[in-house]
């Protein structure tokens, strides 16, 4: 909060398997509606990492479906945007990204019904049609190239650009990386400054 000079509201959404999809998404949309009572939408940015990156985009889809005013921007870090293991980066980077390699994060996020939800854009935003993504606010996507989920961001970026969304994507180069690296770094650390600094600059352009 001090680094960005912004108020930060963290959503403690309920988690699977005790609370399977769509409960976590509903919690996020509920939180956004609460924020709209306190702040103008142009002063709100939705920001999330990993499964939270997924929820950043799926929340915006749900908000758009409800014809609510959209936030001024979206930021995702190492987002999970499609079913795990679909893209080549999952195999390519399984040794450089031990946190994700071999884990079924779909079940962790969705619960036991994950196999029946693969084409739902409120589960996997890469499944959204162009008209569903059209009108999205400016979006910042971050991922490390050595992550298993790198190609999720590559494909999600393409889908957003095809829908006319203003997108900035940062593909950081590390030989090895913990999944969601920025969430483990502070802006005062050298690597943290290299990641968080451009995000801050981008926020200031909104």
| Spatial contact of 130 and 161, defined as CB atoms under 8 Å apart | no
For position 166, what pLDDT does the model report? 98
Angle at 180 (CA atoms; ends 83, 69), nearest 5 degrees: 70
Question: Can you tell me whether residue 15 is helix, strand or coil?
Answer: coil
Angle at 100 (CA atoms; ends 183, 53), nearest 5 degrees: 45
| Spatial contact of 77 and 179, defined as CB atoms under 8 Å apart | no
Report how far residue 148's alpha carbon sits from residue 196's, in angstroms, rounded to the nearest whole number. 21
Residue pLDDT, tens place only, 107-135: 666 766 556 677 899 999 999 999 999 99
Residue pLDDT, tens place only, 5-40: 999 999 999 988 889 889 999 999 999 999 999 999
Instruction: Give the number of C-alpha atoms closer than 13 A to the C-alpha of residue 56, restricted to the C-beta side.
Output: 28
What is the mean pLDDT of the segment spanning 185-195?
92
Does the pTM surpass 0.85? The reply is yes
């Amino acid at each position: 909060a001090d680094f960005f000079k912004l108020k930060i509201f963290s959503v403690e959404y309920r988690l699977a398997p005790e609370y399977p999809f769509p409960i976590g998404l509903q919690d996020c949309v509920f939180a956004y509606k609460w924020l709209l009572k306190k702040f103008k939408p142009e002063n709100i940015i939705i920001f999330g990492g990993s499964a939270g990156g997924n929820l950043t985009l799926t929340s915006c889809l749900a908000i758009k479906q409800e014809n609510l005013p959209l936030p001024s921007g979206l930021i995702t870090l190492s987002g999970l945007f499609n079913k795990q293991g679909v893209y080549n980066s999952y195999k390519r980077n399984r040794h450089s990204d031990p946190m994700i390699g071999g884990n079924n994060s779909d079940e962790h996020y969705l619960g036991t019904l994950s196999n029946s939800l693969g084409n739902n854009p409120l589960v996997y935003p890469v499944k959204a049609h162009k008209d569903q993504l059209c009108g999205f606010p400016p979006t910042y996507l971050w991922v490390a190239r050595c992550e298993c989920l790198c190609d999720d961001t590559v494909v999600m970026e393409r889908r957003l650009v095809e829908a006319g969304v203003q997108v900035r994507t940062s593909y950081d180069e590390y030989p090895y990386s913990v999944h969601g690296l920025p969430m483990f770094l502070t802006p005062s650390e050298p690597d943290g400054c290299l990641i968080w600094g451009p995000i801050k600059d981008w926020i200031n352009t909104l």
